[in-house]
Amino acid sequence: MITKNKFICENISRTEAGELAFAGVPLSCMAREYSTPLYLFDEDRIRERCRTYLRAVRDGFGLGAKVLYASKAASFKRLYEIMREEGMGIDVVSTGEIFTAYSAGFPLESAYFHSNNKTDRDIEYAMEHGVGTFVVDNEEELLAINEIAISRGIRQRVLLRITPGIDPHTYAAVSTGKVDSKFGSAIETGQADAITALALSLDGIELRGFHCHVGSQVFDSDVYIRAAEVMLRYVAHINDKYAFLAAELDLGGGYGVRYVEEQPEIDIAANIAEVAEYMNALADKLGIPMPQVAFEPGRSIVADAGLTLYTVGTVKRIPGYKTYVSVDGGMTDNPRFALYGAQYTILPVAAPTPDNSVECSVVGRCCESGDIIQESVPLPPDMKRGDLIACLTTGAYNYSMASNYNRLGRPAVVMLSGGKSYLAVKRETEEDITSLDV
Ligand code: LLP
């Protein structure tokens, strides 16, 4: 029997014996069956998140509204099957993501192709695979898409990525809505109008509307209202200036998720309802029909549906200094602390002991001191080789950002649903790692 405890996400609990469980499955069973390090994904949670978004956008904006899963957060075939089954669209950013979705049988007509620098090959590849819509970053890219579309005898549907000039108050590496961003064309500088005029003049381009994405791990709900306002006013402005009425308006992704207790949990449905109410009123005021609205969540679909399970290898106690708990993974499977100082909740899998007070640095096995998963993690003083620990909320930007540094193989990905587990991605072997060496 699994007893409910209060954890940062509902899918975390402890068994009667006190052992940590995820999606109703005791974690030691997963370690025994699949070995560690291991990525676990709670399929039921992913589906629930998709449904929450879909319901919210349809309630707020009508049945034509879309949710595009930003698959950079986590991309492997099984996820695209789930997205197809749930009626989600997807955002893809590379030929690798396109091919993964294609291989999973995802209808690429419902895919939106992002990135700020699509090569000619990327463009050809996406068109060959029937990607429905391109989200165009800049004029050079637009001209290249136009030329290739004409040479293929098609008109490519596009959205233009516009920079609304909004600071989302998140960490710099994921802030994208400010005027000086590397992404998109800014309204303030006149570049947005210029690329719109250009798009309307090109025979190979079918302009559908506009896109913006202000940043990631955003908690300030006001950010979405402000971005939506700027974008809707822009739609009205372009209607006045060029008599072009946008059919689509994609507001990007970015809703923050709870990694540690101190962070709030965003009520996505309530937030989208608020944005919708504001936008519907504004559209009326501006006298324009509401375009078909899309949201593009990545992190908030998969983050708390993920957990990484590790086995402790060594515990190094440096008297008067600190205690290092080294696990069998590291920055290769989760580079987010090394890159952003990202916060995580780490828990021992075994039943909690009364004295849980030693602050440890949980580190990986890579050859550099920056290979840290988290600092100041309270762990039992008797942690030892062979113990299991779990890093929570690793579903987003972990597997997708994993590397082979030190020629370490990426962990397997196991899905959990209804108390059962199945393999979604195999563990990378030494043979896999050398498979491209000639
Ligand atoms: N749409 C666009 C155009 C994006 O660039 C992104 C994320 C999303 C949607 C999804 O945003 P989300 O809902 O996941 O916040 N590696 C960083 C995150 C980079 C986000 C990049 N763009 C991290 O680990 O925090």
Distances (CA, A) of 264 to 169, 259, 260, 404: 15, 9, 9, 34
Chain segment 397-422, per-residue pLDDT in tens: 999 999 999 999 999 999 999 999 99
Q: What is the pLDDT of residue 174?
A: 64
Chain segment 163-190, per-residue pLDDT in tens: 998 876 766 666 666 777 788 999 999 9
Q: Average pLDDT, stretch 50-78?
A: 98
- Atom in ligand 1 nearest the alpha carbon of residue 161: 3
Domains of the chain: 2-42+304-433 (2.40.37.10), 44-301 (3.20.20.10)
Pocket probe for ligand 1: among 46, 53, 72, the residue whose CB has the most ligand atoms within 8 Å is 72
Q: For the ranges 72-86, 163-177, 274-288, which has the lowest average pLDDT?
A: 163-177
pTM: 0.96
Q: Average pLDDT, stretch 264-271?
A: 94
| Residue 148 reports pLDDT greater than 50 | yes
Chain segment 361-378, per-residue pLDDT in tens: 999 999 999 999 999 999
Contact 246, 194 (CB under 8 A): no
DSSP H helices in 70-136: 77-86, 95-103, 120-128
Q: What is the pLDDT of residue 5?
A: 46
Q: Where are the beta strands (DSSP E) in 43-145?
A: 66-70, 89-92, 111-113, 133-136
In whole angstroms, give the CA distance from residue 213 to residue 176: 7
Chain segment 150-159, per-residue pLDDT in tens: 999 999 999 9
Taking CA atoms only, the protein residue closest to ligand 1 atom 9 is 253
Q: Average pLDDT, stretch 70-75?
A: 98
Q: What is the pLDDT of residue 4?
A: 43
Token pair of 337 as six digits:
């602390």
Instruction: Give the Å distance between the CA of 181 and the centre of ligand 1.
Output: 14
Chain segment 83-123, per-residue pLDDT in tens: 999 999 999 999 999 999 999 999 999 999 999 999 999 99
| Residue 141 reports pLDDT greater than 50 | yes
Pocket probe for ligand 1: among 88, 216, 220, 231, the residue whose CB has the most ligand atoms within 8 Å is 216
Q: Which residues does the annotation mark as catalytic?
A: 367
Please name which of 296, 283, 146 lies closest in space to residue 215, comparing C-alpha atoms.
Answer: 296
- Atom in ligand 1 nearest the alpha carbon of residue 336: 24
Q: What is the pLDDT of residue 127?
A: 98
Chain segment 51-61, per-residue pLDDT in tens: 999 999 999 99
Average pLDDT of the chain is 95
Phi first, then psi: what are they for 144, rounded to 5°?
-65, -45
Q: What is the pLDDT of residue 3?
A: 43
pLDDT > 90: what percent of the chain? 90
> Letter for the amino acid at 402?
A
Task: Place 220 in a pLDDT band, splitting at 50, 70 and 90.
Answer: confident
Give the HSE-up count for residue 333: Cα atoms under 13 Å, Cβ half-sphere: 28
Instruction: Give the Å distance between the CA of 18 and the centre of ligand 1.
Output: 36
Chain segment 317-365, per-residue pLDDT in tens: 999 999 999 999 999 999 999 999 999 999 999 998 877 679 999 999 9
Q: What is the pLDDT of residue 1?
A: 40
Q: What is the pLDDT of residue 172?
A: 67
Task: Place 2 in a pLDDT band, splitting at 50, 70 and 90.
Answer: very low
Contact 200, 207 (CB under 8 A): yes
- Atom in ligand 1 nearest the alpha carbon of residue 114: 3
Instruction: Give the Å distance between the CA of 426 and the centre of ligand 1.
Output: 25
In whole angstroms, give the CA distance from residue 37 to residue 308: 7
Instruction: Give the Å distance between the CA of 363 and the centre of ligand 1.
Output: 25
Give the HSE-up count for residue 88: Cα atoms under 13 Å, Cβ half-sphere: 31
Token pair of 251 as six digits:
């507001």
> Letter for the amino acid at 141?
E
Contact 331, 353 (CB under 8 A): no
Beta-ladder partners of 372: 363
